[in-house]
Structure 1
Amino acid sequence: MHHHQSPEMKACIAECLACFQECLSTAMQHCLETGGEHTDPKHFRLISACAEICRTAAHFMLIGSEHHKHVCRECAEICTECAADCERIGDMQSCVDTCRRCAESCRKMAA
């Protein structure tokens, strides 16, 4: 393992990967199968964007890019928006909680 990664960064990478997995599986399984508001284009794009920015943030930290702070800041913003939208629609508490944990972790990394 890379020794330059702080425990905080390792935790953030784990949160980002967990959020990537949660958002992608929620979108592809829960949202597509549930339909209605769950497949509203605005929501579906947001949850898909959230999965992708989380994967990207984890990648930037894993490769040791100096740009990870900017990506983490954006990730925190998108995760916060995704959590709020999933909460508004309802029946996606796991996604809401995972996005909030990731946003919090990414905010610390961006600081």
Structure 2
Amino acid sequence: MAGKFSKILLLLVVSFAMVSPHQATKLGCRDAEKVRILHDCRDFIRPGGALLIPGRNGNCCWAVRAVPGMDMPCILTLLTPVEKKENSQGKILGLGNACT
């Protein structure tokens, strides 16, 4: 009986892990997605100046939605020191909310 119970419990744990909303973010973002964000969102992530909000059907938001879990903190981890100076990290983080 204990063996059956542990197998059922294991199946439940595995099935919940497979449908977890955080599953996509564990896959991580890729450099290609970072490059697309930096290109397609360049007008919205410039440091300083006015805060511009991208259109939800524009190229920038499509690029944001292509990142697993729209994980903008992951994109920040991929930025080089030069890219960090050329782009506003705060604005990059805000893209996730702007494009939902």
TM-score, shorter chain, exceeding 0.5: no
TM range (shorter): 0.3 to 0.5
Flag the structure with higher helix content: 1
Larger Rg: 2
TM-score if structure 1 supplies the norm length? 0.30
